[in-house]
Structure 1
């Protein structure tokens, strides 16, 4: 058997003091890293030399207890997706809700509504309809980023297409401009 060229080292056999030293070192690194945190990330582009804007301090409007302009008959309106952000630049967040009737079967069409709540208001209210359920669309890939609402909309090319099988896919984006939400279509309609 060939002998090692390196002599045995005393520290290769662990003792309790080694574990205490390691635990102390790890605790020190964790404590130090909690002090040094990166700045908060934002989705908004930064302007060089501009004053940073403070994050909204008011809470985003809740989606519960809101009357949605949706006729569901005997079933309730169901909020299936929601996202919040300052859409109009006033420093107060709005909530965007994707809502449809809680139908026991099938795929009911979605409505997309913008909610706001004034500083002294008791409950939120709908201030804009971005997608009307009468248009028979289902909303997927929904988000609010940097003041823009984006969604993928599944719909129908004609009234003859069954509700189970949407055959048109569109992407859409809405942004607050000139006192209203303006819709743009980032991509062309595609058949599914």
Structure 2
């Protein structure tokens, strides 16, 4: 890149140690602020409770040579026993399309955390869109595919919720609707 004649004499083209220090402080502040902000569902969504580590769990999902990928996670005391469980949305990585998701409830303590219950199995061939854990309820939008829909483009969706009742998770599901249509 060529500089303009006389550009080296302009004050904004010269830097001083103070400018570098101020830049470093500003970058550090932005990085620190970014670390404090996390995507929805990345931390406990129900009273700040910390549950089992979703990344450390062994999932009953066959991904060949690769480990399953946790796409969403949230912790809360779902069964009201005073200890937080973690809900993890997990899938295998694929080169093309969207792999089906599984939804697991993890319990601890223990290393690795153990799968307490499978709420959605990848064999059901659905993906999880929206996901949240609030007030002890797990909610998700499940995305599905009709026979002629490509794996990239779900054409069916269904809102579901699970809640703890009488010692087990109970599913409440809305009717299936075309993808993108408001419930």
TM-score (norm 2): 0.68
Asked whether 1:180 is paired with 2:168, we answer yes
Query: How is 1:107-122 mapped onto 2 (pairs within 5 angstroms)?
Result: 107-118=98-109, 121-122=110-111
1:124-161 per-residue CA deviation (whole Å, 9 max, x = no partner) reads: 11111111101111101100011100000001234x43
Asked whether 1:124 is paired with 2:113, we answer yes
1:37-70 per-residue CA deviation (whole Å, 9 max, x = no partner) reads: xxxxxx98xxxxxxxxxx687x311012211010
What CA RMSD, in Å, does the superposition of the two structures yield over aligned residues? Answer: 2.0
Q: How many angstroms apart in 1 are the aligned matches of 2:48 and 2:66? A: 35
Conservation of the 8 A alpha-carbon contact between 1:56 and 1:86: no
TM-score (norm 1): 0.65
**Residue 168 (structure 1) aligned to one of 153, 156, 164:** 156
- When the two structures are aligned, how many residues end up with a matched partner? 135
Q: 1:162 to 1:76 in 2, by over 3 A?
A: same
Query: How is 1:1-12 mapped onto 2 (pairs within 5 angstroms)?
Result: none
Q: Residue 56 of structure 2 aligns to a residue in which SS?
A: coil
Q: How many angstroms apart in 2 are the aligned matches of 1:188 and 1:122? A: 39
Partner of residue 77, structure 1: 68
Unaligned runs of 5+ in 2: 1-44
Show structure 1 runs of 4+ deviating over 6 A: none
Conservation of the 8 A alpha-carbon contact between 2:56 and 2:111: no
1:59-110 per-residue CA deviation (whole Å, 9 max, x = no partner) reads: 3110122110101012220001101111000111110000001223321111
Query: How is 1:38-77 mapped onto 2 (pairs within 5 angstroms)?
Result: 59-77=50-68
Q: How many angstroms apart in 1 are the aligned matches of 2:55 and 2:155? A: 32
Deviation of residue 188 (structure 1)? 2.2
